[in-house]
Amino acid sequence: MSASAVENRFCRTIRRKARAAGLSACALALAAVAVVAVGTAPVDAKLKPKVRAHRVFHGANYHPPYAALVVDDNSGEVLHEVNPDEPRHPASLTKIMTLYLLFEQLESGSLKLSTPLPISAHAAAQPPTKLGLRAGQTIAVEDAIKGLVTKSANDAAAVVGEAIGGTEEQFAERMTRKARALGMSGTTYVNASGLPAEAQITTARDQVTLGRAIQTRFPHYYGYFATPRFQYRGASMNNHNTLLATVEGVDGIKTGYTEASGYNLVTSVHRNNRHLVCVVLGGTSNGQRDARMRQLIEENIARASTERTAPAIVENPDLEKDATYSVSTTKPEPAVPAAMETPPAPAGDADVGGTAAKPAVLEPPPPAQPTSTLSTGATP
- Examine residue 369 and state whether it is found in any structural domain, yes or no: no
- Distance, in Å, from the CA atom of 31 to the CA atom of 316, rounded to the nearest integer, reads 76
State pLDDT tens for residues 311-328: 999 999 888 876 654 443
Number of domains in the chain: 1
Average pLDDT over residues 70-77: 98
pLDDT of amino acid 353:
32
State pLDDT tens for residues 25-52: 444 444 444 433 434 344 343 333 343 4
- Examine residue 260 and state whether it is found in any structural domain, yes or no: yes
- Examine residue 322 and state whether it is found in any structural domain, yes or no: no
The range of the structural domain enclosing residue 163 comes to 67-311
Q: How confident is the model at residue 23 (pLDDT cuts 50, 70, 90)?
A: low
- Examine residue 324 and state whether it is found in any structural domain, yes or no: no
- Examine residue 8 and state whether it is found in any structural domain, yes or no: no
State pLDDT tens for residues 251-262: 999 999 999 999
- Examine residue 367 and state whether it is found in any structural domain, yes or no: no
- Examine residue 168 and state whether it is found in any structural domain, yes or no: yes
State the pTM of this model.
Answer: 0.73
- Examine residue 31 and state whether it is found in any structural domain, yes or no: no
Measuring CA to CA, which residue among 287, 152, 121, 339 is closest to residue 230? 152
Q: Measure the CA dihedral 171/176/178/182, to 10°.
A: 160
For residue 288, pLDDT beyond 70: yes
What separation, in Å, do the N-terminal and C-terminal C-alpha atoms of the chain show? 59
Domain CATH code at residue 196:
3.40.710.10
